[in-house]
Amino acid sequence: MPRNANGYRHNKSDLPEKTCVVCKRPFSWRRKWKDCWESVRYCSDKCRKDRNAANLATSQHAPP
């Protein structure tokens, strides 16, 4: 496995994880999210597009 300039090996298991609010699956940090990781909520574009459908499904099952 490649080492960085400090001699540290990067493992995918060392990356932070979150749970997608739509599909409830865990997803790991990606380099493209380095500046906005705090605001990332969805694991993919598909889940981001389906967020309204997920909100409707949970509101229909909620008691009035």
CA distances in angstroms from 37 to 1, 40, 49, listed in the order given: 25, 5, 19
Contacts 24+ apart (CB under 8 A), 23-32: 23/47
Q: How far, in Å, CA of 61 to CA of 64, rounded?
A: 9
Supply the pLDDT for residue 52: 83
Q: What does the pLDDT profile of the chain (64 residues) look like in tens digits?
A: 567 677 767 777 788 999 999 999 999 999 999 999 999 999 999 999 998 876 656 666 555 5
The position carrying tokens 């060392």 is 14
